[in-house]
Amino acid sequence: MITLTTYKWVPDFAAPLMRAFRVRWALEEAGIPYNVRLVALGPEQRSPEHLARQPFGQAPAIEDDGLVLHESGAIALYIAEHSEKLMPHNRVGAARATAWVFSALNSIENAVQELGSIIFFHKDAAWAKERRPQVEQFIRLRFGQLAEALGDKDYLEGDFTVGDLMMSDVLRIIDSTHLIDEFPTLKAYKARCEARPAFKRAMAAQMEGFAPAP
Ligand SMILES: N[C@@H](CCC(=O)N[C@@H](CS)C(=O)NCC(=O)O)C(=O)O
């Protein structure tokens, strides 16, 4: 059975946003049961045992029948290979779904993560106040392009794929800014993804998995 390694505790704001959530969601979509191993931030996170699972001392990582895998994108794609719900079983469809995973991580997540870093860690810093408008403007550009690509489709390739899972999860990082409200079709797309029963099951598991704050 797959074992997912995630953290024992994270700050409240981070709990629903952890990258391990994507893995839980993919597993729920695919209907694959899993175990969870909880690692503590700090010394255990930097222990040789954990670094053997995740070379940067991060989460998530999975183990499956001798395979040890890090990076949420790689893990989501690995899980998707086992599920027609996540990955079309034709070469073109699979390639396009994979491309959207890369777009989510390399063209959207890096942009929203910069804003996330400002709002979660540096909100009141002078440099952050100066930088924030530029970061938001760049996100608006990317959101406009993404909305254009989505058009009037329900999902990026018509039917839901691992690409939509990753894209909608990345969009959640800056939920608290409501920037997506400026892009109604994108907002509806994200809501559609989050309304999926597998998303709700994964979120419930994610939130109940955390120990109370120390
Ligand atoms: N690119 C990695 C990023 C993983 C990541 O940033 N994980 C966060 C938790 S959501 C983490 O472990 N942060 C603690 C740290 O970087 O030390 C992935 O997508 O799996």
- Residue 72's region, left for phi above 0, alpha for psi from -120 to 50, else beta, is alpha
The mean pLDDT of 119-127, rounded to a whole number, is 95
pLDDT at site 211: 55
- Could you tell me if 101 and 134 lie in one domain? yes
- Could you tell me if 97 and 10 lie in one domain? no
Q: Let me know if residue 145 belongs to a domain.
A: yes
**Mean pLDDT over the full length of the chain:** 96
- The C-alpha atoms of residue 56 and residue 41 are separated, in whole angstroms, by 13
- The C-alpha atoms of residue 168 and residue 199 are separated, in whole angstroms, by 11
Does 18 sit in the ligand 1 pocket, CB within 6 Å? yes
Strands of the sheet containing 61-64, edge to edge, are: 34-39, 2-7, 61-64, 67-70
- Residues spanned by the domain of 81: 2-85+198-208
The CATH number of the domain where 29 resides is what? 3.40.30.10
Contact 18, 7 (CB under 8 A): yes
The mean pLDDT of 147-167, rounded to a whole number, is 97
The atom of ligand 1 lying closest to the CA of 70 is 20
- Residue 36's region, left for phi above 0, alpha for psi from -120 to 50, else beta, is beta
The CATH number of the domain where 155 resides is what? 1.20.1050.10
Q: Quote the distance between the C-alpha of residue 132 and its chain's center.
A: 22
- Could you tell me if 189 and 202 lie in one domain? no
Give the 3-state secondary structure percentages of the chain, helix then strand then coil, rounded to 5: 60, 10, 30
Structural domains counted in the chain: 2
> From the CA of 59, how far away is ligand 1's center (Å)?
5
- Could you tell me if 66 and 125 lie in one domain? no
Q: Let me know if residue 146 belongs to a domain.
A: yes
Of the candidates 68, 59, 55, the one whose C-alpha atom is nearest the C-alpha of residue 23 is 59
The atom of ligand 1 lying closest to the CA of 57 is 17
pLDDT at site 41: 95
The atom of ligand 1 lying closest to the CA of 45 is 17
Using a pLDDT cut of 90, give the percent of the chain over it.
95
Which has the higher per-residue pLDDT, 214 or 9? Answer: 9
Residue matched to tokens 């997912």: 4
Entry pTM? 0.96
With 80 as the cut, is the pLDDT of residue 152 above it? Answer: yes
> From the CA of 60, how far away is ligand 1's center (Å)?
7
